[in-house]
Amino acid sequence: MSRFKLKYAPHFGMFRNSGGEDLVDQLKFGADQGFTAWEDNGMPGREIETQKKVATAMEDLNMVMGVFVATASFKEPTMASDDQGIRDKVLEDIRKATEVAKRVNAKWCTVVPGLFDMKLAWDYQTANVIELLKRASEICEPSGLVMVLEPLNRLINHPGVFLAESPQAYQICKAVDSPSCKILFDIYHQQITEGNLIPNIDRCWEEIGVFQIGDTPGRKEPTTGEINYKNVFKHIHDKGWTDTMGMEHGNSKPGAEGEQAVIDAYVECDSF
């Protein structure tokens, strides 16, 4: 039985001191704490047998799988580029992601469109991204897999990324016009990039597929930074949100004590 109103999704390693190194044991620990979802950015890199093992355990625990990363680059232009070889590689990543999603019962996969291209006008880059996402959506739609585009902040973590703003992601999703292309609204990144969180969530609402969480400064659990997460969570809940809320942040304190602090923070911010 969940102790939370929303489907907050920890990740492997977040509770390793309390749950142990074994992935299934970490899932069991999370479920015991009342978490009903989980996410794993690195799932495509795990052995197939491990993917199946995790999926079986999550089904037994009645947990929902959140996002994994389907394709991402922080070193070069990819989706914005004219380079056909790079663009073909993105589509191959998406094809592989559909197979991973089937094995782990995942509905969502994260897509990061790479860096912007210094040699190409911005609007040409945007057109390239939209065209490639339309092709990727055709791959995803038959299985129901949903790509979620993640705007990332350029100020602290990811200088040079093409996609940084929620209105930008909204515009792209509207242009792609597919149920398999939505927004990953990472509250940490968007607080740094643009703030104005609740109004931007409202404006993007119909195109948001997944939320992720992290406080700032520091990218640790809620209550450690400047974001009023109790109000943000209440707003999202009151709008009828039923999908996952990925806990994509570190722990502010080490060891089992730090892991308990993460749990306590979510209990506090969920108590609206």
- Within a domain: residue 1? no
CATH number of the domain where residue 35 is located:
3.20.20.150
Q: Is the dihedral of CA 176, 180, 182, 184 positive or negative?
A: negative
Q: Which two tokens stand for residue 219?
A: 């990218």
Residue 262 lies in a domain: yes
Question: Is 2 a member of any domain?
Answer: no
Total domain count for the chain? 1
* In contact, 38 and 59? CB cutoff 8 Å: no
DSSP structure class, residue 268: H
Task: Write the CA distances from 197 to 72, 218, 228, integer angstroms.
Answer: 25, 18, 10
Residue 249's CB is within 10 A of a number of other CB atoms, namely 25
CA neighbor of 5 nearest in space, from 222, 238, 212: 238
pLDDT, one tens digit for every residue, the chain (272 residues): 568 999 999 999 999 999 999 999 999 999 999 999 999 999 999 999 999 999 999 999 999 999 999 999 999 999 999 999 999 999 999 999 999 999 999 999 999 999 999 999 999 999 999 999 999 999 999 999 999 999 999 999 999 999 999 999 999 999 999 999 999 999 999 999 999 999 999 999 999 999 999 999 999 999 999 999 999 999 999 999 999 999 999 999 999 999 999 999 999 999 99
202 assigned to some structural domain = yes
Question: Residue 8 and residue 112: Cα distance in Å, rounded?
Answer: 22
The answer to whether residues 35 and 49 touch, using CB atoms and an 8 Å cutoff, is no
Identify which of 64, 58, 8 has the alpha carbon closest to the alpha carbon of residue 264.
Answer: 8
**What is the residue range of 226's domain?**
7-269
The verdict on residue 198 lying in a domain is yes
Q: Please indicate, yes or no, if residue 89 is contained in any of the structural domains.
A: yes
Rounded Cα distance, 204 and 186, in Å: 12
Is 134 among the domain residues? Answer: yes
3-state secondary structure (DSSP) of residue 78: coil
The alpha carbon torsion through 257, 237, 242, 95 (nearest 10 deg) reads: -80
pTM of the model: 0.96
Does residue 37 form part of some domain? yes
Distance from chain centroid for Cα 97: 14
Which helix (DSSP H) or strand (DSSP E) does residue 68 occupy? strand 68-71
